[in-house]
Amino acid sequence: MAFALTPDREKQVDEILTRYPERRAALLPMLWLCQRQHGWISPEVIEYVAERLGLSTAAVKGVVTFYTMFFDEPVGENIIWVCRTLSCDLRGGKVIQEHLEQKLGCSAGQTSSDGKFTLLKAECLAACGQAPMVQINDRYYENLDVELLDRIIEAHLTKGAEAAAEEFATHATFRGPRKGASSAPPPPSKEAVRVASQPPPSARSSKGDES
């Protein structure tokens, strides 16, 4: 079935188009609008966007498949991005991922059988000081442990994403700590202590000396 944006979103596209000298420059914000409405960028969405901006479907598809934040297949109601880069990993990112996999009954890259959550791994989401963290939809949840994570997931299931975000989400730079959170940083994980207590690698083992 052919895709079309709602009249309200069409008006937003009209406004977005006024910002750029060329229509093609509106491709990213227009894809965003479409994904917010449709949940993912289906072939019908690609055709719609290509026609609206005067581009080939191949050009639109190339952009969709380049950016990990655009989904080219159906996803769950909520998207959980688990940060697995160094700071989060040292403070339990792997435990967070494994706990989510067990709780949701799906591996990273998959969607839970009830369609409520898609679980994805992410590279550093720039909230390293609040590690470990996940992004759910477009909100950050930081300084996590599995108990807090369970409460966050439960809130999404019982109250919805907006209410869950209102209760638990943090934004590293402009929302401050979650309600009731202590301002003291959580203690380091055992893994962080283990890594920090190891002696630095010797000069001989560095890459430059291997030859």
Binding site for ligand FES (CB under 6 A): 83, 85-88, 124-128, 131, 133
Residues contacting 204, CB < 8 A, separation 6+: none
Q: For residues 45 and 136, which CB has a smaller minimum distance to ligand FES in the complex?
A: 136
Q: For residues 52 and 91, which CB has a smaller minimum distance to ligand FES in the complex?
A: 91
Q: For residues 163 and 193, which CB has a smaller minimum distance to ligand FES in the complex?
A: 193
CB 81, min distance to ligand FES, A = 10
**C-beta pairs of 100-107 under 8 Å, 24+ apart in sequence:** 100/134, 100/149, 100/153, 103/150, 103/153, 104/153
CB 116, min distance to ligand FES, A = 24
CB 83, min distance to ligand FES, A = 3
Angular region, 206: left φ>0, alpha ψ -120 to 50, beta rest = beta
Q: For residues 28 and 126, which CB has a smaller minimum distance to ligand FES in the complex?
A: 126
Please give the structure tokens belonging to residue 196: 């920090």
Cβ neighbour number for residue 8 with a 10 Å cutoff: 9
Cα(82)–Cα(98) distance, integer angstroms: 10
CB 139, min distance to ligand FES, A = 14
